[in-house]
Amino acid sequence: MCCVVNDNLASSESAINKVKPPIPKGTIDSIETVSEVSETFIDAFGKIVVRNITNIPELLKKNAVWLVPLIALWLFLMTFPTFRISILPGILRFLMNLLIFLTASYNNFIAKIIYVFSFNSALIPAIEKIRKKEAAELVDKYKRTFDTIRRAFLSLKNKGIIILLSSSGTGLIIANFLSRNNRLDKYFVCLLSSFALINALSEGAGNVLIKLFRLASIDLNNLFKKDSKLNYNFIYTVFAGLSLGLAGEIIPGLTFRMFGSLKDYTGYVLGLVLIVISVVLHFLKAQNVTKEH
């Protein structure tokens, strides 16, 4: 259901599209106040859910060519006893482990949903570009995206590192949840979702993930009565940090296997450490500002 939400949110944009997207070729200095947006996160998300439920037959038909084989592989690999994989001949054991890795067969249900969404929204379009011999255009798009991320981060000055640390820590926590125990056979969904976030940034404010994040941020500002402004520098830095944390899950997966049962939770631990550091830096920065005044 989640695999075509980019198309389905088009009609629910309302006032949010008054601000031009910070596409990689353009500026990222556009700012809007929370009072300029009338649609809420719940409204937008609800419309996505309703439209996708209504369009289930069409979605299945459109994506059956890859979704049916994927579900068949999930059913087969999830029911295949793990101990039997270990006794297979070398090449067969390698192929089975590769299939488990690439299909997220051992990941939880939520991870599988994110896998399908990321696969459909980011990986398939990229593969299509390469198939059409448009790889150079694809590379150029992501180069410009990373340049936009760099400029967004630098424009935030001292706030940039705080936002990047906290969002990277959040990304590590999410990745640990998606991979369940930091094992490499469950890591691919983290890498794929990291790529999907970068792909979302390459599409600018028109991307459904960025729209929903903006709406959620504005709703939180309204909830806590914060009279603040939301800009794309903040959004791009948050998404970059989340992407970095998701991809960075491979570090605890590779380096902390010696910690016994704690190894299953090192993503949570490292993520919390980064968030705590960001909070400390935030208060230190606030104290310095107070002293200057």
pLDDT at 256: 67
CA distance 190 to 115: 8
Confidence at residue 17, expressed as pLDDT on a 0 to 100 scale: 34
Give the rounded percent of residues in the chain with a pLDDT score beyond 90. 44
The residue type found at 50 is V
- The answer, yes or no, to whether residue 198 has pLDDT greater than 90, is yes
The residues, any chain, with a CB within 8 Å of residue 145's CB and separated by 6 or more, are: 24, 198, 201, 202
Q: How confident is the model over 194-207, as a mean pLDDT?
A: 91
pLDDT higher than 60, residue 163: yes
Give the per-residue pLDDT at 21.
Answer: 41
Cβ distance 169 to 273 under 8 Å? yes
Query: 279: how many CB neighbours lie within 10 A of its CB?
Result: 14
- Please give the biggest Cα pair distance in the chain: 71
pLDDT of residue 74: 92
pLDDT at position 250 is 87
- Bridge partner list, 229: 33
User: CA-to-CA distance for 184 and 192, rounded, in angstroms?
Assistant: 13
At residue 79, the pLDDT reads: 81
The predicted-structure confidence for 44-89, as pLDDT tens digits, reads as follows 888 888 887 888 788 888 888 899 999 999 998 888 777 678 788 8
Query: What gap in Å lies between CA 246 and CA 269, rounded to an integer?
Result: 14
pLDDT at 230: 72
- Give the C-alpha separation, 197 to 238, whole Å: 10
Strand, coil or helix: 203: helix
> How far is it, in rounded angstroms, from Cα 55 to Cα 240?
32
CA angle, 15 as apex, 11 and 18 as ends, to 5°?
110
pLDDT, average across residues 98-120: 93
Look at residue 190 in the predicted model and tell me its pLDDT.
96
Contact 66, 123 (CB under 8 A): no
**Is the pLDDT score of 111 beyond 70?**
yes
Query: Within 10 A of 58 (CB to CB), how many other CB atoms are there?
Result: 11
pLDDT bracket for residue 268 (50, 70, 90): very high
Pick 268 or 53 by higher pLDDT.
Answer: 268
Closest by Cα among 118, 96, 94, 117 to 105: 96
pLDDT of residue 260: 63
Residue 269, CA atoms < 13 Å, CB-side half-sphere: 13
Per-residue pLDDT at 227? 60
Task: Return all residues near 241 (Cβ < 8 A) that are at least 6 apart.
Answer: 163, 164, 165, 166, 167, 168, 170, 171
Main-chain dihedrals φ then ψ at residue 88, nearest 5 degrees: -70, 155
| 122: pLDDT strictly greater than 90 | yes
More confident call, 114 vs 21: 114
Q: Which residue has the tokens 């830095």?
A: 237
Q: Indicate the helix (H) or strand (E) that contains 112.
A: helix 109-118
Confidence of residue 124 (pLDDT cuts 50, 70, 90): very high
- Pairing state between β 229-231 and 31-33: antiparallel
Look at residue 232 and tell me whether its pLDDT is greater than 90.
Answer: no
Mean pLDDT of the chain: 82
Quick: pLDDT tens for 7-28.
443 433 333 333 334 444 333 3
